[in-house]
């Protein structure tokens, strides 16, 4: 994009489906209360599984957002995405009309997609035969259908795409959507991630990898990023979607601007299918690239919402990456992992966690890392342990790292009117 005069990108709408609350207000209240959304799995009988806990969304009714026919024809991850997308538009006070439809796009991803449908229809195939598999099976499982259904039902005719980069998906989706606006190819984009993978096969697969916490007797304490006794991540579900808008367009319609999206960086570890590079090269470059894009110094970042999965490898490596990028400021910048409360929403994590950053800027408060009890010598930063911290935040960074060595970093900054 060298030589181009880039548009500026405002964040004007927030939509959330999370294990600690539906909508931005309930989500924020949950973060401020340090409330854990983790409990025993109820979506299926998990008695035989090593990990019997998850952060489920328990109070979401798709009928609040979609009609019955569309509910039947779409997987749970699309229900979440559509609900969060509707919320983001309503929060922004933005209407998609015949006049602006070709300038409004959608870019939403998922790490796994229609897991519930896949397992249900495979069971139907085995028990009842191939003729009984739903004709909607394929469109219900494919990941791009979150963007597709939002576009179809809301009439958004602009750039329409999807991202799949495992747990970096939400960050990449928002960053890529921001680039589309910067290039002048859309006035507004609904962007983020959605995930609904709390299913027997998904949980079994992650258990077999020994990636998940088995602290089954203390579900609320199981997700404990950066704590010395962390033993794996806890799966969550939900969606985090933002409305990105070209700044001048947002100003003309007098929209509330939560923050400006100023930095996007990404990189590849080129190391291992699941483990992060132990030297933190990829994560470091992702953060540096975002800072370069934002034309900001490390010292200007006041809050980092860490990827912070509660796994031994990730938390140690991310700590090292922050030290390498931030130098002396690494020990003064506030770092927290909201996954301690929401669990790990996989492809939706980057969207949900950018929203946490935006609300930290908006509200002047930093969410805590709950369950931080036992310091780890390898994780020695300021993790905002256990209690919310009231503090002004001008600029915040969100990290999202995924299997396959995918790294995405976003930076949001308070909009001061200039």
**Residue 401, by phi and psi: left (phi above 0), alpha (psi -120 to 50) or beta?**
beta
Number of domains the chain contains: 2
Q: What is the longest distance spanned by two Cα atoms in the chain? A: 64
For residue 375, the 8-state DSSP code is B
Instruction: Please indicate, yes or no, if residue 301 is contained in any of the structural domains.
Output: yes
> What is the pLDDT at residue 330?
98
Residue 4: what pLDDT? Answer: 72
Q: Is 344 a catalytic residue?
A: yes
With both helix axes pointing from N to C terminus, report the angle between 115-128 and 76-92 in degrees, rounded to the nearest 10: 150
In this structure, the answer to whether residues 246 and 322 fall within a common structural domain is: no
Q: Look up the domain containing 239 and give its range.
A: 9-252
Give residue 155's pLDDT.
Answer: 98
Which residue is catalytic, options 344, 357, 379, 406?
Answer: 344
| Residue 3 is assigned to a structural domain of this protein | no
Active site residue 272: no
Q: Residue 257: inside a domain, yes or no? A: no
- Say how far apart CA 293 and CA 296 lie, in whole Å: 8
What's the pLDDT at 47? Answer: 97
pTM for this entry: 0.97
Boundary residue ending a domain (252, 278, 312): 252
Contact 145, 78 (CB under 8 A): yes
Domain stops at, among 252, 283, 299:
252
Q: Exactly one of 249, 307, 357, 406 is catalytic; which is it?
A: 307
Whether residues 207 and 351 share a domain: the answer is no
Alpha helices in 74-199 (DSSP H): 76-92, 115-128, 137-141, 145-154, 169-182
Tell me the two tokens of residue 207: 């258990």
Scanning 129-280, the segments in alpha helix (DSSP H) are 137-141, 145-154, 169-182, 200-208, 247-252
Question: Which pLDDT score, from 0 to 100, does residue 247 have?
Answer: 98
310 falls within a domain: yes
- Within a domain: residue 1? no
Please list the rounded mean pLDDT of every run of 10 residues in the chain (418 residues): 82 98 98 98 98 97 97 98 98 98 98 97 98 97 98 98 98 98 98 98 97 98 98 98 98 98 97 94 98 98 98 97 98 98 98 98 98 98 98 98 97 94
- In this structure, are 301 and 246 located in the same domain? no
The pLDDT assigned to 3 comes to 60
In the numeric block, which tokens belong to residue 407?
């790294």
For residues 110 and 194, state if they share a domain. yes
Which has the closest alpha carbon to 198: 64, 405, 407, 49?
49
Q: Is 249 a catalytic residue?
A: no
Residue 143 belongs to domain with CATH number: 3.40.47.10
CB of 66 closer than 8 Å to CB of 58: no
Which among 381, 81, 131 is positioned nearest to 239, based on CA atoms?
A: 81
Given 252, 284, 316, the domain boundary residue is 252
Compute CA distances 135 → 117, 126, 143, 287, whole Å. Answer: 12, 16, 17, 44
Q: Is residue 201 part of a domain?
A: yes
What pLDDT score does 417 carry? 86
Q: What is the DSSP letter of 6?
A: P
Q: At what angle do helices 200-208 and 115-128 cross, to 10 degrees?
A: 110
Q: Are 412 and 174 in contact (CB under 8 A)?
A: no
Compute the distance between CA of residue 62 and CA of residue 71 in angstroms, rounded to an integer. 7
Whether residue 404 sits in one domain with residue 296: yes
DSSP letter at 120? H
With tokens 């006035």, the residue in question is: 187
pLDDT at residue 1, rounded to an integer:
52
């Amino acid at each position: 994009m060298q030589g181009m005069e880039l548009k500026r990108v405002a964040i004007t709408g927030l939509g959330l489906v999370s294990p600690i609350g539906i909508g931005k207000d309930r989500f924020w209240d949950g973060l401020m209360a340090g409330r854990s959304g983790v409990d025993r799995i109820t979506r299926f009988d998990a008695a035989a599984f090593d990990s019997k806990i998850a952060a489920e969304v328990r109070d979401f009714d798709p009928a609040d957002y979609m009609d019955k026919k569309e509910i039947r024809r779409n997987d749970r991850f699309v229900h979440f995405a559509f609900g969060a997308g509707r919320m983001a538009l309503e929060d922004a006070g933005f209407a998609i009309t015949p006049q602006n439809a070709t300038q409004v796009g959608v870019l939403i991803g998922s790490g796994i997609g229609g897991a519930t449908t896949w397992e249900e229809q495979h069971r139907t195939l085995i028990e009842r035969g191939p003729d009984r598999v739903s004709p909607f099976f394929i469109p219900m499982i494919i990941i791009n259908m979150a963007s597709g259904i939002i576009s179809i039902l809301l009439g958004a005719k602009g750039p329409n795409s999807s991202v799949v980069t495992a747990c970096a998906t939400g960050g990449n989706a928002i960053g890529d959507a921001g680039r589309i606006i910067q290039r002048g190819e859309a006035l507004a984009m609904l962007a983020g991630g959605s995930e609904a993978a709390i299913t027997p096969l998904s949980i079994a697969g992650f258990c077999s990898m020994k990636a998940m916490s088995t602290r089954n007797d203390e579900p609320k304490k199981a997700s404990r990023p950066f704590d010395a006794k962390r033993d794996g991540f806890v799966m969550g579900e939900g969606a985090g979607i933002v409305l990105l808008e070209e700044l001048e367009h947002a100003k003309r319609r007098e929209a509330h601007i939560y923050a400006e999206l100023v930095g996007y960086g990404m990189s590849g570890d080129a190391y291992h299918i699941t483990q992060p590079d132990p030297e933190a090269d990829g994560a470091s470059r992702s953060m540096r690239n975002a800072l370069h894009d934002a034309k900001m110094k490390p010292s200007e970042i006041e809050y980092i919402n860490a990827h912070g999965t509660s796994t031994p490898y990730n938390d140690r490596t991310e700590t090292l990456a922050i030290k390498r990028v931030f130098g002396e400021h690494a020990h003064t910048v506030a770092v927290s992992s909201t996954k301690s409360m929401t669990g790990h929403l996989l492809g939706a994590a980057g969207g949900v966690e950018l929203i946490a950053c935006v609300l930290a800027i908006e509200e002047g408060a930093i969410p805590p890392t709950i369950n931080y009890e036992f310091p780890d010598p390898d994780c020695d930063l300021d993790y905002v342990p256990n209690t919310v911290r009231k503090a002004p935040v001008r600029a915040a960074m969100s990290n999202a790292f995924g299997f396959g060595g995918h790294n995405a970093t976003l930076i949001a900054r308070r909009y001061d009117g200039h």
